Structure 1
């Protein structure tokens, strides 16, 4: 999984905040235009999934603790997805 600008927030120390991250959705119809639905099979230590916003099917994969952008991206590369 590759980050895009705007999918994360940095704190005053240039570390990725634990409050925002890569957007995912549990509704297959909502992600069809982005290449289809995938199930998260494995999430590495250092990342967690949080629900975001009024849409109860919208989630974000965020850092469990403040970390560098490079660390965050490295962990996202380790997420294992399975096409649904």
Structure 2
């Protein structure tokens, strides 16, 4: 029968190898998650930029519309004043 003291070093080597393997799997998983997260962050950034552009365009269109309405109101006031 093998002496238990002779089994300790091989068991420790085996445990170390398994531990290293699990660490590498964890690192690979973290890298994959970082890559996916980066894609999600890029999509969110693009979405925010699109919303900002849409809001800016809406403000420009609304501002132009309000200016045109104001010009028409001024013309109506002028016409009403000439009567």
TM interval, short-chain normalised: under 0.3
Which is greater in Rg? 2
Which structure's residues are more often helix, by fraction? 2
